[in-house]
Amino acid sequence: MALTTAPPQPSQTEQPAPARRRSVLLNKFDLKVSPYLYILPFFVVFAIFGAYPMFRTLYMSFYDWDLANARFDPPVFIGLDNYVRMLDDPYYWNAMRNTFGVFLLATIPQLALALLIAAMLNRPFLRGKTFFRMAILLPNATSVTAVGIIFLTMFKDTGVINWALGLVGIGPIDWHGDGGFWSYWTAVATMVDWRWTGYNALILLAGMLAIPRDLYESAAIDGAGAWRQFWSVTFPMLRPTFLFVSIVSIVGGLQLFTEPVIYTYGYTVRGGDRREVQTLAMYMYENSMVSFNNAGYGAAISWSMFLLIIMASIGNFLLIRRTAR
């Protein structure tokens, strides 16, 4: 960049020598040091509230740690015991199953639907496109707690959803059914999808708009119809955007907390009487923020989630790279 190699000589040539030397020094300082000052705030805040707690969590996960009462009940180093405990903790595996169950149930239809909506919004000469775009953004502006309460109500026995299903002859479903985790999963996945499908459609649309038009033109000249154009031009070109959307979905989906908490009335974080929809984030919270004395175990659960997220993201990356080749 030119500005580092060309100091602003012209305006200073007429100044007396000492002043000029000082301003050259200042100028040097300004160019060499100030960039670091400008990016410093981010790194300071991240170091204190991001990096330190993250490694502190790792450290705590090797201890039997009582968060509320550390003075009278000092932490005891127990090595990998917290991780071993996870291996045969039925509640942990239940939470794992619920997290992945809801995640798959929510994400697969969501991405498919978002792709479809984006493709519809990407039609040239579409009328009312601002209205459609704003309409699908509205759910994302609604807070997750609000979404939880709204859908909790719509999924009641006499709620709108059962009424709508009744219209097509599907008999009332008990969406808070005893022991039936499918009903819980479906309800929670619906909330997630309502809030995020439109948002993801907008991002995929952005990716589609960035694809050069002449690619479609040459495909059309080669005789490719709309369907063929989508699979041969749009989808491969959309790969980076799709990767972005799916990784964001993984990071968010595996941390799912608010929707299932509110859906199960929000007072506890057990996710229903039989933990039908308790996710890993809720189980972590239960161990460390409800019963503070299990904070070490909660920390271990946190790190297991982090590793899962990283593995799922890498797996997803490899999968998308392969399928689109």
Partner 1 sequence: MARRRRGVRRNSPWVYIGLTLVSLISIYPLYFVFIIATRSLDALNNPSPTWLPGGEFLNNFNKALARDDVHFWKGMINSIIVSSVVTVSVVLTSTLAGFAFAKLKFRGRNALMLTILVTMMVPTQLGLIPLWGMMQQWGLVYDIWAVILPFLTSAFGVFLMRQYTLSAVPDELIEAARVDGCTTFRTYYSVVLPAVAPGAAVLALLTFMEQWNNYLWPRAVLSPDNPTLQVTLGFISYTYYTDYSLVFAALAVAILPLILAVLFFGKQIIGGIMEGAVKA
Which residue from 92, 103, 184, 285 is in contact with partner 1, where contact means CB under 8 A? Answer: 285
Residue 192 to residue 147: CA distance in whole angstroms: 9
Query: Does residue 25 belong to the site contacting partner 1 (CB under 8 A)?
Result: no
Q: According to the binding rule CB under 8 A, does residue 133 interact with partner 1?
A: yes
Q: Which stretch binds partner 1 (CB under 8 A): 9-17, 102-110, 180-188, 316-324?
A: 9-17
Of positions 21, 22, 35, 76, contacts partner 1 by CB under 8 A? 35
Q: Beta partners for 76? A: 64
3-state class (DSSP) for residue 323: helix
Q: Residue 60 interacts with partner 1 (CB under 8 A)? A: yes
Does 225 help bind partner 1 (rule: CB under 8 A)? no
- Please, what is the minimum distance in Å from the beta carbon of residue 94 to partner 1? 18
Number of residues that bind partner 1 (CB under 8 A): 113
- Pick from 78, 219, 237, 251 the residue near partner 1 by CB under 8 A: 251
* Distance (Å, whole) CA 311 – CA 172: 39
Distance in Å, CB of 315 to partner 1, minimum: 14
Taking the complex as a whole, the smallest distance from the CB of residue 198 to partner 1 amounts, in Å, to 6
3 touching partner 1, by CB under 8 A: yes
Q: Which of 175, 184, 194, 283 binds partner 1 (CB under 8 A)?
A: 194
Name residues contacting partner 1, limited to 101-120 (CB under 8 A).
116-117, 120
Cβ-contact 279, 305 below 8 angstroms: no
Find the binding residues for partner 1 in span 163-192 (CB under 8 A). 163
Nearest to residue 102, comparing CAs of 179, 187, 178?
187
Task: Pick one of 20, 306, 316, 320: the residue that binds partner 1 (CB under 8 A).
Answer: 306
**Per CB under 8 A, does 271 bind partner 1?**
no
Cα–Cα dist 115/110, whole Å: 8
x/- contact string, 62-91, with partner 1 (CB under 8 A)? -----x--x---------------------
38 belongs to the binding site for partner 1 (CB under 8 A): yes
Binding segment (CB under 8 A) for partner 1, from list 84-92, 94-102, 173-181, 243-251: 243-251
Which residue, chain included where needed, has tokens 């007072």?
Answer: 267
Name, in order, each residue with C-beta under 8 angstroms of 50's C-beta and a sequence gap of 6 or more: none
Q: Which member of 102, 262, 277, 312 binds partner 1 (CB under 8 A)?
A: 262
Binding of partner 1 by 220 (CB under 8 A):
yes
Q: How far apart are CA 106 and CA 263, in angstroms?
A: 15
According to DSSP H, which parts of the chain are helical? 2-5, 17-46, 52-60, 81-87, 90-121, 129-141, 144-154, 160-167, 181-209, 213-221, 226-229, 235-237, 239-253, 258-263, 280-285, 295-323
Q: Is 202 in the site for partner 1 (CB under 8 A)?
A: yes
Contact residues for 202 (Cβ-Cβ < 8 A; gap 6+)? 118, 133, 136, 137
Shortest reach from residue 319's CB to partner 1, in Å: 18
Residue burial 214-232, b: 16+ Cβ < 10 Å; e: rest: eebeebeeeebeeeebbee
